[in-house]
């Protein structure tokens, strides 16, 4: 279904019947990706006395509880409330859900013992474009990202100057295929988070960071329409399902 829409002062045509889902499925499985030193999600039927909320156990419906952490268990979108003393909800940060986005692929640079996404590499890939959203795919880009156990791996991270660059460029929504834009163990500095949200100088309450995505190799670098679907939780972060659409 082709549709032409006006977005960000641009008129674009997309095929809404060909979505490109860049989220990672959350499951009660050993295959679920993990970060931040906690175990997998748990999905289990409600137990009320002798009644078990499972059709195969005699119930009329399947009726499960789900225990998970949005930051550790899969694709999630977070707002500045993730790092502020004052409560901010991601449910308030997003009031619009469609944005022009640029997909870029970056090979992290070895600096000391860390692999870093530098400001030079980000700027080079954007080629002067000023999208509202930037989707970063890192290399190598294997399917193992959807099942990887990231705790204690010192994953690649975004240099805070690159986060500043994106902020100053006017990027409102940053998406990345890592558990965090920041270094796994940085002493709580969270430099990239703070730089992107401009904390404490002038906090950007409507800017979001989406982590733990997976962008398949079949999705080429370039411009897309992004539909950023976020579960309506009153929390600093919530599970999300970012979906890209090619421009026709």
Q: For residue 231, how many other CB atoms are within 10 A of its CB? A: 15
Task: Return averaged pLDDT per consecutive 10 residues of the chain, 248 residues in all.
Answer: 81 93 98 98 98 98 98 98 98 95 98 98 97 98 98 98 98 98 98 98 98 98 97 98 96
Q: Distance between CA 235 and CA 78 in Å, rounded? A: 9
| CATH, residue 226 | 3.50.30.50
Provide the pLDDT for residue 219: 98
Ramachandran area for residue 183 (φ above 0: left; ψ -120 to 50: alpha; else beta): beta
Q: Distance between CA 34 and CA 146 in Å, rounded? A: 9
Residue 32 lies in a domain: no
Range of the domain at 158: 2-26+72-246
Residue 40 lies in a domain: no
Residue 37 lies in a domain: no
Provide the pLDDT for residue 9: 78
Residue 163 lies in a domain: yes
CA dihedral over 97, 146, 17, 246, signed as positive or negative: positive
Q: Is 161 exposed, middle or buried (0-12, 13-18, 19+ CB in 10 A)?
A: middle
Nearest residue to 126 via CA among 96, 169, 85:
169
Structural domains in the chain (count): 1
Residue 125 lies in a domain: yes
Provide the pLDDT for residue 11: 87
Q: Distance between CA 92 and CA 206 in Å, rounded? A: 8
Residue 55 lies in a domain: no
Provide the pLDDT for residue 211: 98
Which tokens belong to 63? 């009726």
Task: Tell me the angle at which helices 160-169 and 119-126 cross, rounded to the nearest 10 degrees.
Answer: 30
């Amino acid at each position: 279904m082709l549709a032409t829409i006006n977005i960000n002062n641009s008129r674009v045509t997309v095929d809404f019947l060909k979505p490109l889902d860049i989220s990672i499925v959350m499951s009660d499985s050993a295959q679920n990706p993990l970060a931040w030193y906690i175990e997998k999600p748990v999905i289990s039927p409600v137990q009320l006395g002798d009644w078990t909320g499972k059709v195969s156990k005699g119930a009329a419906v399947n009726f499960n509880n789900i225990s998970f952490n949005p930051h550790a268990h899969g694709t999630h979108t977070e707002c500045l409330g993730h790092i502020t003393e004052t409560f901010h909800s991601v449910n308030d940060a997003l009031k619009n859900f469609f944005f022009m986005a640029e997909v870029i692929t970056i090979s992290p640079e070895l600096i000391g013992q860390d692999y870093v996404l530098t400001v030079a590499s980000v700027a080079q890939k954007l080629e002067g474009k000023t999208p509202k959203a930037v989707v970063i795919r890192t290399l190598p880009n294997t399917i193992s990202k959807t099942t990887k156990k990231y705790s204690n791996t010192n994953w690649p991270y975004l240099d805070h100057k690159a986060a500043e660059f994106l902020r100053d460029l006017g990027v409102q929504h940053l998406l990345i295929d890592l558990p965090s834009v920041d270094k796994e163990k940085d002493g709580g500095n969270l430099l990239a988070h703070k730089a992107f949200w401009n904390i404490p100088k002038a906090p950007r309450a409507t800017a979001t960071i989406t982590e733990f995505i997976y962008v398949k190799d079949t999705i080429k670098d370039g411009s897309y329409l992004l539909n950023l679907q976020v579960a309506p939780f009153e929390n600093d972060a919530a599970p999300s399902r970012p979906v890209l659409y090619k421009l026709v």
